[in-house]
Copies of this chain bind each other. A is one copy, B any other.
Amino acid sequence: MITRLSHLFLRTLRDDPADAEVASHRLLVRAGYVRRIAPGVYSWLPLGLRVLRKVEQVVRQEMDAMGAQEISLPALLPREPYETTRRWTEYGDALFRLQDRKQADYLLGPTHEELFALTVKGEYNSYKDLPVTLYQIQNKYRDEERPRAGILRGREFIMKDSYSFDLDEAGLARSYAAHRETYQRILARLGVRYVIVSATSGAMGGSASEEFLAESPVGEDTYVRSLESGYAANVEAVVTPAPAPLPLGGLPPAVVHDTPDTPTIAALVAWAESAKVVDRRVSAADTLKNVMVKLRHPDGKSEIVGIGIPGDREVDEKRLGAAVEPAEVELLTEADFAANPFLVKGYIGPKALLDNGIRYLVDPRVGTGTRWITGADEPGRHVVGLVAGRDFVPDGTIEAAEVRDGDPSPDGHGTLVAARGIEIGHIFQLGYKYTDAFEVDVLGENGKPVRLVMGSYGIGVSRMVAVVAEQQHDDKGLRWPSEIAPFDVHVVIANKDESARAGAEQVVAGLDARGLDVLFDDRTASPGVKFKDAELLGMPWVLVVGRGWAEGKVELRDRFTGAVEEIDAQAAVDAVVARIRG
């Protein structure tokens, strides 16, 4: 197939779009692949749509190969099933909700667990039908608070979501493993550099879950891994190794000190050092910082909670958010402090919280027998040598403290190093949350009903286009792997000579006859403009028919390596086919 640039609906832009922060966004807009319609809502122009469809096709082929079956559910969904699972409410502001002309409530599907569970319930009723894995490739909708980076985090986007249904947990584990392998195959074909990390399940419910993160400094997810072991986890999923309980006997009693003007950890440490209140060097890690947050639960109720973490660490908002889901975290207002006068800012200690019925959760490092310098619940006073498990017993632990480079790996091997990634896939062993909600049973071999166990698996399709652009681009423009390039080869006429034009037509016809998709720059623009566009648009191979044509030579450029090769004009078609088909 031949597409002429003189005809293609395309305008490349010289300047970066004003709102573009990341390279993929900048380049996909400049190269005329996508256009913004509203925040997080984009059009796909011809080149972008071609890449998108090719990514879709890779995903579809691999899903089919694993035995999954494609169906297509609506994006416009009735409220009721999401009410049953409470997600109508728990999804919060991220759900697009609307009403029809009869005031019936609808939503735009962010993910389809409910509907797939109901679909299987509707069709199948015997253990003989199981296992089954269904998938769709479809528009999804999430009203992101901060849509960003073009199609990297959109509010309307395309996802492949699939759902497995098994008779038992062993079956679920097999379905999960099959998806994991399929995702690895898909990402290998797309040439994406990625890591698989342990993840939290979030609003999805369920137990085991892993994320596929594309390595990228512009990613919104932080993950950590141990270089000494295979351990890798989204930072939200890192489980802090808890110290073994220490004996409580023989520890000196806690002592309250006047510590004027020490509302910050730094000031407190400076005081402790100078006052020599303990028999060793004092660091921020010896202090216990109590952070107050307000949780808004899905039922609308608010709860004030205290979180105790070592003073050398900050609260990580995303870890905290993941730890308290589906509740949402809010800051306390002045009115909250006024209503709870026992909260003495800068000097809050465990005692006032526990005495006043405030739930108090601590970092796992605050284990039984550990000793702390912390607030004494009076202005300008702290307590030294307060022992966890003796002087206060917290209501539980919480993973809210930041994870840092150098922290010990949770698997006991080596230390953690952090990097950033873009979430491109997520696989969940959901368990029974949805099949319980809708009573998805089949008749078992023994004649008794068997409740099905479910997995849910998603891979970003439109996001993948941005991810590949992000990982593969260079300073001149986009670079597409052959598997998903809009065209196999980009042919440029770089000479106004009529014979070069005729020669280019001949080469293009030859490439087309061999089944290649050719983007043909037949415009009358200058060679400089055309070369710049070819680099920006990013086809993997650029064939230049120019001055050399008279001597029977054309030029083949490798967009990835930048290598330029002069080849015989008569052999050009064979050479290009050989490069592409390997």
Q: Could you list which residues of chain A lie within 8 angstroms of chain B, going by C-beta atoms?
A: 7-11, 32, 35, 37-38, 41-46, 49, 52, 67, 69-78, 93-94, 96-98, 100-101, 104, 106, 108, 115, 119, 122-124, 132, 134, 139, 141, 143, 145, 155-156
Contact = CB atoms under 8 A, between A and B. Distances in A.
Given A139-B139, A143-B101, A122 B35 contact: yes
B155 A32 contact: no
What number of copies of this chain does the assembly contain?
Answer: 2
Contacts of A123: 9-11, 32, 45
B70 A37 contact: no
A46 B71 contact: yes
Contacts of A134: 9
Contacts of A10: 123
8 contacts: A9-B132, A37-B73, A37-B74, A37-B77, A37-B78, A43-B119, A44-B71, A100-B155
Contacts of A141: 76
Given A75-B75, A76-B155, A98-B108, 5 more contacts: A7-B67, A8-B69, A75-B139, A76-B141, A98-B98
B74 A46 contact: no
Given A106-B38, A124-B11, A101 B145 contact: yes
A74 B42 contact: yes
A35 B121 CA distance: 12
Nearest to A138: B139
B75 A156 contact: yes
Contact of A38 (B37, B76, B119): B76
Contacts of A8: 69
Nearest to A128: B6
A69 B143 contact: no
Contact of A119 (B35, B77, B155): B35
A361 to B, nearest CB: 29
Main secondary structure of the interface of A (DSSP, over half): mixed
A22 B7 CA distance: 45
Contacts of A108: 76, 98
A52 B136 CA distance: 14
Contact of A76 (B32, B41, B101, B104): B41
A94 B100 CA distance: 9
Which of A72, A97, A123 is the most central at the interface, judged by chain B CB atoms within 10 Å of its CB? A72
Contacts of A69: 8-9, 46
A110 B313 CA distance: 52
A44 B70 CA distance: 9
A45 B71 contact: yes
A9 B71 CA distance: 9
A286 B143 CA distance: 63
A143 B100 contact: yes
Nearest to A158: B72
A71 B98 contact: no
Contacts of A11: 123-124
A190 to B, nearest CB: 20
Given A37-B115, A96-B98, A101-B145, A43 B72 contact: yes
A16 to B, nearest CB: 16
B41 A74 contact: yes
Nearest to A124: B11
Contacts of A41: 74, 76-78
Contact of A97 (B70, B73, B98, B122): B98
B72 A44 contact: yes
Nearest to A42: B74
Nearest to A70: B49
A49 B72 contact: yes
Contacts of A139: 75, 139
Contacts of A38: 74, 76-78, 104, 106
A101 B93 contact: yes
A122 B93 CA distance: 32
A10 B104 CA distance: 30
A78 B132 CA distance: 39
Contacts of A45: 71, 119, 123
A49 B136 CA distance: 10
A71 B42 contact: no
Between A37, A74, A78, the greatest number of chain B beta carbons within 10 A of the residue's beta carbon is seen for A74
A43 B74 contact: yes
A463 to B, nearest CB: 15
A412 to B, nearest CB: 43
Most buried by B among A67, A94, A100: A100
A425 to B, nearest CB: 23
A253 to B, nearest CB: 52
A391 to B, nearest CB: 45
Contacts of A42: 74
Residue of A75, A76, A119, A123 with most chain B CB atoms under a 10 A cut-off: A76
A155 B99 CA distance: 13
Contacts of A155: 76, 100
Nearest to A100: B143
Nearest to A50: B70
B70 A46 contact: yes
A139 B74 CA distance: 9
A75 B43 CA distance: 10
Contacts of A43: 71-74, 115, 119
Nearest to A92: B101
A63 to B, nearest CB: 12
A8 B106 CA distance: 30
